[in-house]
Amino acid sequence: MMQIQEKDLLSKLKTNFGYDSFRLQQQEIIENILAKKDTLVIMPTGGGKSICYQLPALFFEGITLVISPLIALMKDQVDSLKANGISAAYFNSSQTPEEHQKVFDGVADKTVRLLYVAPESLSLLQHVLNQNYISCIAVDEAHCISAWGHDFRPSYKQLAFLKKSLPETPIVALTATADKATQEDILQQLAIPNATKYVSSFNRENIALEVRPANDRIKQIIRFIKGKPKEAGIIYCLSRKTTEQLAKKLKDNNINAKSYHAGLSFEERSKTQEDFIKDDVDVICATIAFGMGIDKSNVRWVIHYNMPKNIEGYYQEIGRSGRDGLEAHALLFHSYADVIQLRQFIANTTNKDVQEAKLDRMKQFAEATVCRRKILLSYFGELIEENCGNCDVCKNPPKFFDGTLIAQKALSAIYRLEGKEAMGTVIDVLRGAQNATILEKGYQQIKTYGVGKDISWRDWQHYIIQLINQGFCQIAFHLHNALQLTEFSNKILFNGEKVFLTTPVEIEKIKKETEVKSKTKKKVVKDTLFERLRKLRYRIAQEEDIAAYLVFNDATLRELENERPQTEEEFLAISGVGQRKLEVYGGEFMEEIKTFLNEKKKSRKDTTLETFNLYKEGFTIDEIADKRGLKPQTIFSHLSKLYLEGKDVSLDEFISADILNLVRNAKKVLKNETALKPYFEFLGEKVPYEQIRIGLTILQKKR
Ligand code: ADP
Ligand code: ZN
């Protein structure tokens, strides 16, 4: 093969994918593949794995075969390539013999660059599986081949023969699973022991992390979504029933939501998935069955209604948001009841110990009092030095206080109850509740009964969880989750050791904050350029019957909004715009931008004219500002503009001759500086900005 240079790679990256530069490691990986070396790529979801094999495919003589486990994902990937003007096809059991023949033809005349195939369909491709036709093999979701992984698929087992039949063809294995054992297993199973490994950072900085207590979670969720109109999001729930109930509640609240779980028919599931991908549905309430086949880049948030079983699952699920690199939000609801339920599930499984340890790590994450991202990344063996600044702990660090007395009360209650009662009853005793259990068992006689009346139920729960985490008491899961003392308890009860606890996050406070925000900034979908472009994108996607983000992703729309390109050259400079997309979509998008700008210009003109009319009617600046709901400064700026345009506005009446003189002198010294601040400082911070601006306007006109 000819020598391929960096500039060739960059030029194809721009022409065919619309990007100006590679992300970390992409270029090295691509060069390694082009050198025909076996390659292992470990990159988080959204990291940009696809380009790693799609770009080399454009340089190879034969086709690149892509093994992918999910039929749903294939069509999407092929659509996406086609949208970029790259010839691609897929081959799976859902197609007719005619369609299969078309694929064979494409392979034979080498017109297809990339061919996606499900592992179970490989055997039907036998006659083209040789080096004449195939230049590279990419194995997507490669962890599916390993029994160590969390998603083992027997059909992947047969991939081992690939290296035997095509020894000269480079194999690229790609996955988002970091685990060391799985990595080694992938290499062994695929018979590529010497593959070059690329393991990239798992840090997805654009996803804000947040954990909240689960009290009132439905209300919290509704409020959360209402603050993000038209944004796509996924809510993960533990049970099918919850997904349905939640979707219904959301719909009752005018939220465009649907549920998704394995109990629905194949058709229903496909339809829901389609609707989501095409932006016809905003919110999906799903069990973990949802998402594997989803490659939607504009998912803006993920909520975990229930606690996930382990950090791998959690990380993968939140990773489905913000793939376009724009801000995204992951919100986890933490409830102790969930933890107990998950423990019960686990109790009946074969590898109980491993799963319990994993659940414990998940719990530690949820209860963290240090930067959550540090915990998350350290789980994957990645250490970061700085706190992330984009998790709730970083944004709102917990406050510790001396909680020794609280701890003593709780531990003595547990002691008096002889380690027989679960958290609920312990709290009831502390708070002096008078319910049936308490009275039947005679717990009102206990010495600690009612000693914790002053602390709310929810706060007690928060404190006791912390005591458990610090090892001062424990849950006996085999004894109906009874709370019991530990060896450490004595330190508090008898040896005078101090305990530090954190104050619970005030849900009320969170509520108020969001309410205040939503009052000052009314969250309705505004008529912004972004919204216009989003609507246009939606219309085009409908017409072409493809996912909306395949036209342009959110990041590209944002850039279009900011840069407002009006020529082909400017349009092509936008990240995400390649040659084909410029040709096919450029015109319509530029047209929309032009229309929008003209409308704004017109309304800007209208707004100064309205000020002018009121001014002529004799209203004062403050009155005009009041009438129009604008700031006086804005009115001044309108008048200045009118004044410069030569309209009949006497700015002189707003400034004294003395001050005008001061400004004039300053202007000489400052050599016609245009910024206001230097004048303000030069004049000893005594002349208000408004006066300076008026002075300068008058002087400008006079010149
Ligand atoms: P993965 O397969 O690793 O989950 P993708 O390949 O789907 O991730 O890429 C995620 C997103 O990042 C896509 O929207 C893709 O177009 C975008 N992307 C990939 N590489 C680049 C790049 N070099 N510059 C800008 N965006 C990129
Ligand atoms: Zn942090």
Nearest protein CA to atom 27 of ligand 1, as residue: 48
Residue 471 confidence (pLDDT) above 60 = yes
Our answer on whether the CB atom of 22 is closer than 6 Å to any ligand 1 atom is yes
**pLDDT over threshold 80, residue 408:** yes
Largest separation between any pair of C-alpha atoms in the chain: 94
For 35-66, the pLDDT digits (tens) are 999 999 999 888 899 999 999 999 999 999 99
Cβ 80 under 6 angstroms from ligand 1: no
The pLDDT confidence band at residue 1, using thresholds 50, 70 and 90, is low
Q: pLDDT at position 522, please? A: 41
Tell me how far the alpha carbon of residue 233 lies from the centroid of ligand 2, in angstroms: 22
Q: Please check the confidence at residue 702 and state whether its pLDDT lies above 90.
A: no
Q: Are 346 and 317 in contact (CB under 8 A)?
A: no
Residue 48 CA to ligand 1 centre (angstroms): 3
Beta-bridged to residue 391, according to DSSP, are 209
Q: How many residues does the chain have?
A: 703
Q: pTM of this prediction?
A: 0.70
Atom of ligand 1 nearest to the CA of 23: 23
pLDDT value at residue 579 = 93
Helix (H) or strand (E) segment spanning residue 354: helix 352-366
Distance CA 84, CA 95 (A): 24
443, 450 Cβ separation under 8 angstroms: no
CA 624/CA 614 separation, integer angstroms = 7
**What is the C-alpha to C-alpha distance for residues 511 and 503, in angstroms, rounded to an integer?**
17
pLDDT of residue 178: 61
Least Cα distance to 680 among 656, 659, 698 occurs for 659
- For residue 23 and ligand 1, the question of a CB distance below 6 A is answered with yes
Cβ distance 417 to 476 under 8 Å? no
Query: Who contacts 361 (Cβ-Cβ below 8 Å, separation ≥6)?
Result: 310, 311, 379
553 in contact with ligand 1, CB cutoff 6 A? yes
Res 275 pLDDT > 70? yes
**Alpha carbons 271 and 512: distance in angstroms, whole number:** 38
Q: Is the Cβ atom of 43 under 6 angstroms away from ligand 1?
A: yes
Cα(439)–Cα(60) distance, rounded to whole angstroms? Answer: 79
Test site for ligand 1: of 9, 50, 53, 316, most ligand atoms within 8 A of the Cβ:
50
Secondary structure in 3-state letters for 262-308? CCCCHHHHHHHHHHHHCCCCCEEEECCCCCCCCCCCCEEEEEECCCC
- Please report the pLDDT score of residue 476 as a whole number: 83
Q: Which residues pair with 213 in a beta bridge?
A: 334
CA angle 62/66/70 to nearest 5° reads: 155
Q: Which domains does the chain have, with CATH numbers?
A: 6-199 (3.40.50.300), 207-395 (3.40.50.300), 400-502 (1.10.10.10), 517-596 (1.10.150.80), 609-702 (1.10.10)
Pocket residue to mutate for ligand 1, from 41, 43, 51, 326, most atoms within 8 A of Cβ: 51
What is the C-alpha to C-alpha distance for residues 150 and 155, in angstroms, rounded to an integer?
15
CA 624 to chain CA centroid, nearest Å: 44
Mean pLDDT, range 107-118, rounded to an integer: 92
Query: φ, ψ for residue 210 (rounded to 5)?
Result: -150, 140
Judged by DSSP in three states, 353 sits in helix
Query: In degrees rounded to 5, what are phi and psi of residue 255?
Result: -105, 135
Report phi then psi at 286, rounded to 5: -135, 155
Is residue 516 predicted with pLDDT exceeding 70? no
CB of 308 closer than 6 angstroms to any ligand 1 atom: no
The response to whether residue 45 sits with its C-beta less than 6 Å from ligand 1 reads yes
Backbone angles phi, psi at 171, to 5 degrees: -110, 130
Position 626 scores a pLDDT of: 85
Question: What does the pLDDT read at residue 150?
Answer: 62
Residue 149: predicted pLDDT:
62
Protein residue whose Cα sits closest to atom 15 of ligand 1: 48
In one letter, which amino acid is 44? P
Residue minimizing CA distance to atom 2 of ligand 1 = 49
pLDDT of amino acid 322: 92
Of all residues in the chain, the percent with pLDDT exceeding 90 is: 50
What is the arithmetic mean of pLDDT over 176-187? Answer: 81
